[in-house]
Structure 1
Amino acid sequence: MNGAGSAARRVIPIRNAGAPAALQRRRLAWQAGFFVLFVLAPVFDLFRYDLNAGHAWLLGMEWRLGLDDFIAGRIGAGEAAGNVLLRLFLPLLAGAALFLGVARRWGRLYCGWLCPHFSVVETINTLMLRASGKPSLWEREILPPWQPDGRPRRTDRRWWLLVVPAAVAFALCWAVVLLTYLLPPAEVYGNLWRAAPTRNQALFIGAATVVLSLEFLFARHLFCRYACAVGLFQSLIWIGNRDAMVVGFQRARGAACNDCLPDRQAACDMVCPMRLNPRNIKRHMFTCTQCGQCLSACAESQADNPDGPLLHWVAAAAARRNEAGFRPGNRLADEREN
C-alpha cells in the first residue's frame, strides 16, 4: 500500500507540471498570431483608413460613409444621416458591445491573450529581469532569485545589450505598421525599401519610434495600468460583475504559500507582468489581464503538493465565494445569496 501511495504521489507533479506550460504556450500562440494580424491587416486591406483615398478598407472592400453623394447633391440630409448611422455608428456600437460583453464575463482577456502592446510589455519585462533581476526600472527591489519551480534564476548584465535594441526595434516596427493603417502599405514599404520615404513619412516614423521607445523602456505596464482606455473600459465592466472570471485563492490552505519558494517568497507575486498580488481582493486586481502566469507559477511551485495549486480561475458562485472570503462579516450573507 505504501509503495502504491508513493507511486501515486510521484505521478501528480508530472501531471501538474505540464498544464501550466501548455496554458502559456497557448497564450503565446494567440499573442503571436494576433501580432502577425496586427502587422498584416493593412497589407491585405483587412482594416485600415486610407488618407490618400479618403475612405476606409474593411475585409478587402472599400468602406465609405456615403457622404460623397450628399456633397454632390444626389441624396438628401436624411439619407446621408441614415448612411452614417448604418455604416458607422451601428457597426461601432455592435463591436463595442461584443468587446465589452467578453470583458464583462472574462475580464481583460484581450489584453492578456491578444494585445500586441502587452506582448511587447512581457518581452521587455523578461529581458530586463534577466539583465537586472527586476522586470521594470521602477521596481523597488530586486526580485527573489528563484524560478517558480524552485530553480535559481541568474542575472547577467550583458542582457542589457538586448534590452534597448529590442525596445527600439519594437518601436520602429510599431511606427511603420501604424503608418500603414493611414497610408497605402505598398507606398510605405516601397519607400522604405528604396530608403526614400517622404518627408512626412520620415517625420512620423522618427517621432513615433522615439516616443514608443521611451514608452517601451520606461512606462510599459504603467501605460497598461493607468493610460490605456481599452484596458480601462474592460476593467470597469469586469469589476462590476460579481460573477466574472477571477483568480481564486484557496485561503484555507494559505499556509502552503510559506513553502512556495525559499525564504517564504511567493512565486505568483514575482511573475505578474502588471506587478499585482494575485491573492488579493478583486478591486485590487483591477488591471489583471487574465494572462494566467500566476496560476502557472503556483502550479509549478506546488507541483509536489498532492492537494495541487492554491490559485485557480473561478466564476459565478465560486467567484462570489472567493470575494466573500475577504469580508468575514459579510460571508454568511454572500453564502445565502449563492
Structure 2
Amino acid sequence: MTLGHFIFFGYNWTLGLDPLLAGEASSLEAVSNIIVRGFLPLLGVVLAFGWTSWKYGRLYCGWLCPHFSVVEMVNGLMRRASGKLSIWDRQKLSRQRPDGQIVETNNRYWWLVFIAVVGFAFLWAVVFLTYLLPPKEIYHNLLNLSLTRNQMLFISVATLLLSIEFMFARHLFCRFACAVGVFQSLVWMANKHAMVVSFERQSAADCLGCHHACEDECPMRLKPRSIKRRMFNCTECARCLVACEQVQSEKSRPSLLKWQDGQSALQESDR
C-alpha cells in the first residue's frame, strides 16, 4: 500500500503507467501494458484455478490453504482434550484411531488448544498487517514494543476475531464463509466427471465393526460414504481414504473408499 503496486517474488509489479504520466509513452502503449501486465496475468490465474477446481474440486483447500492446516491442528488437540473435533459435536469420537492407536482424552490438553488458537490468531494478525504495511516496520516495532496505536489496535482486534473463529467456527468458515472454498465447490459440483471419493456400496457389509473411522477422520465433519452433493465441502484431503485403507487392511480387504473420475464418478454424481 505504501508503494502503490504489487511485489512479485521480490520484483516490482506495476502496470507500467509511469512513462505515460511522464509524457514518454503513448496511450496505446499504456493500454498494451495494462493488458499484458494486468488483465492477462489475472485471467491466467482465474482460468488455471477454475480448471483445477473443475477437475479436482477443493484441491487448494485440502493441500495448500493455511487455514485448513490450522483447522487440522486444532482438531487434533481438541480431540485429545475432549474426544471431539468441535465443541459443537454432540457425541465423542471412537477412542480407537484407524491405525489401532488409542486416543485418551485429558483435560490438560485444553491449555494447548487455547495456546494454539491464540498463538496462530496473533501470528495471522501480524502477517495480515505486513500485507498492508512494510514488514520491516511492523516486526521492528513488534520486537521493540513500539507499535503505533493503529498497529496495536489492528493486531488486537484481528487476534480476538481470529481466536473466536479458530475456537468456535473454523469448520463453519471453511464450509460456508470462505469465498475461495465455495467457488471451488460450485465449480466442482457442476462437473459430474470430476474427481470424487467413491464408496463401494456393494461391499457395504465390510463396514461392520469399523466404528465409522472415515467420518471420524474427516476434518470437515462430512460423511465420506455419502453421495457427491452431500460432500459439497469435501477438500480432497484424502484422510478418509487413508482411514478406510488402514481399517480394511487389518482384515486383508481392499479399501471401500476410492478416488474416481470421468465416467466412473457418475455413480456418486447422479445419485
Same fold (TM over 0.5): yes
Q: Distance in 2 between matches of 1:196 and 1:230?
A: 35
Q: Distance in 2 between matches of 1:291 and 1:120?
A: 14
Q: Distance in 2 between matches of 1:197 and 1:205?
A: 10
Q: Alignment partner for residue 74 of structure 2, among 109, 124, 135?
A: 124
Alignment of 1:238-249 (within 5 A): 238-249=188-199
Alignment of 1:47-196 (within 5 A): 51-75=1-25, 77-196=27-146
The two structures, once aligned, show a CA RMSD in angstroms of: 1.7
Alpha-carbon deviations, 1:80-102, whole Å to 9, x = none? 44433322222111011111111
In structure 2, relative to structure 1, the CA distance for the partners of 1:227 and 1:322 (3 Å cut) is closer
Q: Distance in 2 between matches of 1:177 and 1:235?
A: 27
Q: Distance in 2 between matches of 1:153 and 1:147?
A: 7
Q: Distance in 1 between matches of 2:59 and 2:170?
A: 18
Tell me, what secondary structure is at the counterpart of 1:302?
helix
Alpha-carbon deviations, 1:249-272, whole Å to 9, x = none? 110100111121xxxx21001111
Tell me, what secondary structure is at the counterpart of 2:12?
strand
In structure 2, relative to structure 1, the CA distance for the partners of 1:322 and 1:226 (3 Å cut) is closer
Tell me, what secondary structure is at the counterpart of 2:7?
strand
The code of the aligned residue for 1:284 comes to R
The code of the aligned residue for 1:317 comes to Q
The code of the aligned residue for 2:217 comes to V
1:312 correspondence with 2:262:
no
Q: Distance in 1 between matches of 2:76 and 2:188?
A: 28
Unaligned residue ranges in structure 2 (runs of 5+): none
Alpha-carbon deviations, 1:251-307, whole Å to 9, x = none? 0100111121xxxx2100111111100011111111100001101111111122333
The aligned counterpart of 1:291 is 237
The code of the aligned residue for 1:301 comes to V
Q: Distance in 1 between matches of 2:21 and 2:141?
A: 34
* Contact persistence 2:229–2:269 (CA under 8 A): no
Unaligned residue ranges in structure 1 (runs of 5+): 1-50, 327-338
Structure 1 window deviating more from structure 2 (196-205 vs 165-174): it is: 196-205
Q: Distance in 1 between matches of 2:66 and 2:60?
A: 10
Give the TM-score of the pair, scaled to structure 2: 0.94
Q: Alignment partner for residue 271 of structure 1, among 199, 217, 227?
A: 217
How many angstroms does 1:218 deviate by? Answer: 0.8
Q: Distance in 1 between matches of 2:8 and 2:269?
A: 43
Tell me, what secondary structure is at the counterpart of 1:276?
coil
Tell me, what secondary structure is at the counterpart of 2:159?
helix
Give the TM-score of the pair, scaled to structure 1: 0.76
Q: Alignment partner for residue 282 of structure 1, among 228, 236, 246?
A: 228
Alignment of 1:21-60 (within 5 A): 51-60=1-10
Tell me, what secondary structure is at the counterpart of 1:154?
coil
Alpha-carbon deviations, 1:129-179, whole Å to 9, x = none? 110111111112222322123443211111001111110100111111122
How many angstroms does 1:221 deviate by? Answer: 1.2
Q: Distance in 2 between matches of 1:67 and 1:168?
A: 43
The code of the aligned residue for 1:240 comes to A
The aligned counterpart of 2:181 is 231
How many angstroms does 1:182 deviate by? Answer: 2.0
* Percent of aligned positions that are identical: 52
Aligned length: 271
How many angstroms does 1:204 deviate by? Answer: 1.6
Q: Alignment partner for residue 204 of structure 2, among 228, 239, 254?
A: 254
